[in-house]
Amino acid sequence: MWVIGFDEPGGPEVLRGFDLPEPAVGPGQVRIRVRAAAVNPSDVVTRSGLSQPRYAAVNPPYVPGWDAAGTVDEADPATGWRVGDEVVAITLPVLDGGGAYAEKIVVPAESVAALPAGRDFASAATLPMNGLTAWQALDRLALEPGQSLVVTGAAGAVGGYAIELAKHAGLQVIADAAPADRDLVRTLGADIIVDRGAETAAQIRAHLPGGVDAVIDAALLRDEITPVIRAGGGYAALRTAQLSGGVTPRPGLTVHEIFVGTDIHEKDRLDRLSELAASGVLSLRVADVLPAEQASEAHRRLERGGVRGRIVLEF
């Protein structure tokens, strides 16, 4: 089978095609013929080598990609999945047999959900990783209906899902936005929109002088945003301190390190995300669809910034 990967970390140009043996299906597993794979910022981290210690014991080529959508190619009958079923899935890139930039992947049945009804493969591929990341952040923050949540990087994929899931849970959402993104962030459901940039924290404090209950920091503002959190509030860091830098500890602030890899077997959550996407509660935003052989270009565009939604590779 054909995959997109790399044998040495580097810039986008290191991504290329490889022919690998087709993966076998074991007990409790499902093999998926991938039709679409989303391109995420963490794929850039993987490709550039910043997370290389995690896959030091894996033989190249290293295959990135968390998110896949496609059809079941083969499955352990005990899983309940049948050949031809249309599905979405999440897999650990590089590890556990390789990432989603591949014609076929094998994953545990717990990492597979039905394709959201009425959605195509490209849009569905944007859901698993980013949706589970936003869900984990909200779960860890454990807010009650009516409490306040700031979402930074609100126009991005994780930020958008965080807003929509938070509103579905009955929270008050304050979100940042550049001028060009205000209409989008308003459509996603934010109650209060503040300017993205140097005045973000000051504008939040003007709206909620007593502080907010929590922040999901998709923009990695760290110490620039934590002063808006009230005593006893929470901060969800969407990348580990080793990759993004930490926040300065202070009494009364609980910091939650969010890593979606711990939730890839949370089938109930993945099923629920698919249902919410089918019902329109969650917006599946595709920035562009490129042939898989243009993965390098997809990474270049993502690194340049300004992408709204996810670029998707088509296999």
Q: Taking the domain 130-261, which CATH number applies?
A: 3.40.50.720
181-206 per-position pLDDT tens digit: 999 999 999 999 999 999 999 999 99
**Helices 267-279 and 157-168, packing angle to 10 deg:** 90
Confidence of residue 52 (pLDDT cuts 50, 70, 90): low
d(CA 208, CA 201): 10
CA distances from 282 to 126, 131, 183, 188, 189 (A): 11, 9, 17, 9, 11
- Domain 2-127+284-314 bears CATH identifier 3.90.180.10: yes
The neighbouring-strand residues paired with 108 are 29
Question: Residue 51's pLDDT is what?
Answer: 63
Rounded to two decimals, the pTM is 0.95
Confidence of residue 2 (pLDDT cuts 50, 70, 90): very high
CA atoms within 13 A on the CB side of 212: 27
- Strands (E) located in the chain: 2-5, 16-19, 29-39, 67-75, 86-90, 104-108, 112-114, 148-152, 172-177, 192-195, 212-217, 229-237, 254-257, 286-291, 310-314
Residue ranges, comma separated, of all CATH 3.40.50.720 domains in the chain are 130-261
Question: Residue 259's pLDDT is what?
Answer: 93
Q: Would you say 296 and 15 are in contact if contact means Cβ atoms under 8 Å apart? A: yes
112-156 per-position pLDDT tens digit: 999 999 999 999 999 999 999 999 999 999 999 999 999 999 999
Residue ranges, comma separated, of all CATH 3.90.180.10 domains in the chain are 2-127+284-314
CA 127 and chain centroid, separation: 7
Question: Residue 242's pLDDT is what?
Answer: 45
Q: How many residues does the chain have?
A: 315
d(CA 43, CA 223): 25
d(CA 14, CA 32): 26
209-233 per-position pLDDT tens digit: 999 999 999 999 999 999 999 999 9
Question: Residue 240's pLDDT is what?
Answer: 56
Q: Which range among 5-9, 174-178, 246-250, 279-283 shows the weakest confidence by mean pLDDT?
A: 246-250
Please report which residue ranges of 53-197 form alpha helices under DSSP H: 121-124, 128-141, 157-168, 182-188
CA 179 and chain centroid, separation: 24
User: How confident is the prediction for the chain on average, in pLDDT?
Assistant: 95
